[in-house]
Chain A
């Protein structure tokens, strides 16, 4: 009993010690903190040269082409169609993240719970889907989902529906296809986090009288949070920039920003407008990222309580 209570305390106290740790880290003198930072130089140089310089070049194009000024941004904001495209982009990314989390969570949990050998098999299946060509997987969904596809034919043969369901060339198709592709990216970090949770902690919770639900929401879920957040963030940001799947499974009505950018870059050589659109995407993503960090007590801007 005492062991159980200790375990429970250490579990719920984890975030508190995290905050303490952060507080302690900030106390040593400046020199100590920056000690060894010189070793970062090659990496910083690499990043600066191959990441930041092109990025800045890109942002500059947005205000320099075709004529210097804010013309491109004006065009983006003046036209309600672009606002719509932007809205589509974020709503699809949000929806895909939500669904991947809802499906990925039980999957990660199952992988953690089943006997070790089986878990590895399950994980391999998840990984295998990741290694298959993206284009092939997207086309497979097309085969499954289209009006004359496997799913519709089966449902009609069983008499469940009379007319084929429209599951592709619209928002439904995009969300199904993209969620499928994104699930591994949420399962991997989440499964790693779950693996690290000491089962004793859960046992302790129930010994102390927590119902299974309380145990799940008050003990297990908070412990999974870091994996959940990092996985969800990764999925969200990746979804924002996704091109192939929406292009194949979506309808033109649900145009997302990447498709618009491709159109401007490749067909019309309108790099100024494309850069402005890309910059807008970056800024909005950064703002969202900031709020995400705010929610994480361990981060430098987080509300450590």
Chain B
């Protein structure tokens, strides 16, 4: 009897392991993004419907870490199948051979805004750096474009700018200095830093979305450069925050597949679904980030549409990801020098 019990235990244990192996063998992929509400929305808009229709399980992981991605590819043990990265990084990583080329037989390239697709990455979403301001701090004085940042007399208080040497700050300084939007590149670094010098002591730097919201909502910064989705979220919460879309600077996230990803085929199918009109519209409706698929615009919630960059196409200035992918490290050296000077 006792023996019998033991045999059953062993049997059931081995069955259990077998079952585990079977479930692992079934298709699955690891999706990596930045966490927070963005990844929640990506899960709800892309992963869950995808699993339902294709029976491929999507495991959520994160946050995105470029160093980790490089380490995985170098060691040949790639745990991530689809990764959400910034557009300039996507292009730089592709140039360094860290990414798989995408399969555009599966992914429909022709309906994606050509600004947000490359051979190794397809847009995850796009967003704008907008001029946000605290209405309580500035009163009736509503700033219009980036030149307001450099006018400390009319608009007193601290300016919140994005801290990393990445597309955005230098461009807005040049625009404020009178450089026409189509003549921004190659960036005139001397001119940009000279312009930034005039407000250097008035800048507070933010490194992440939550921090930027804290600065703007509390009035610690009177105005500044913000991600449009973050300002929108503050407005939804009833914070006295205004926004100007003039010269909004367009930036994007790309979805990429690291070189040597274990579930490449499943990853391509996932990308096709995420970049589809439906997937993009669904995600935009949940986050106030804009869809990269040209067919998504008609599927957006009517009350949300005016708060998306897609509604301000004529005011858009698209940041040049390719230029940054190539020159980013050199610009960063100059940037650091200027910062600590």
Contacts and interface: CB of A to CB of B under 8 A. Distances in A.
Interface of A: 79-82, 84-85, 88, 139, 142, 146-148, 169, 247-248, 251-255, 260, 263, 265-271
A265 B89 CA distance: 13
Given A85-B340, A263-B164, A268 B329 contact: yes
B204 A251 contact: yes
Contacts of B220: 146-148
A266 B66 contact: yes
A247 B337 CA distance: 17
B250 to A, nearest CB: 20
Contacts of B340: 81, 84-85, 88, 253-255
A248 B205 CA distance: 9
Contact of B207 (A84, A139, A247, A269): A247
13 contacts: A81-B333, A146-B218, A146-B220, A148-B218, A148-B220, A169-B204, A169-B205, A253-B339, A254-B340, A255-B340, A263-B332, A266-B66, A267-B166
A80 B338 CA distance: 11
B205 A252 contact: yes
A260 B336 contact: yes
Interface of B: 65-67, 70, 89, 92-93, 96, 158, 163-166, 203-205, 207, 211, 214, 218-220, 328-329, 332-333, 336-337, 339-341
B67 A265 contact: yes
B209 to A, nearest CB: 13
Contacts of B329: 268, 270
A177 to B, nearest CB: 14
Contacts of A255: 336, 339-340
Given A79-B333, A82-B336, A260-B336, 13 more contacts: A81-B333, A81-B336, A142-B214, A252-B163, A255-B336, A255-B339, A263-B332, A267-B166, A267-B328, A268-B328, A268-B329, A268-B332, A271-B70
B70 A81 contact: no
Contacts of B219: 147-148
B210 to A, nearest CB: 9
- Max chain B Cβ within 10 angstroms of own Cβ: one of A148, A255, A267: A267
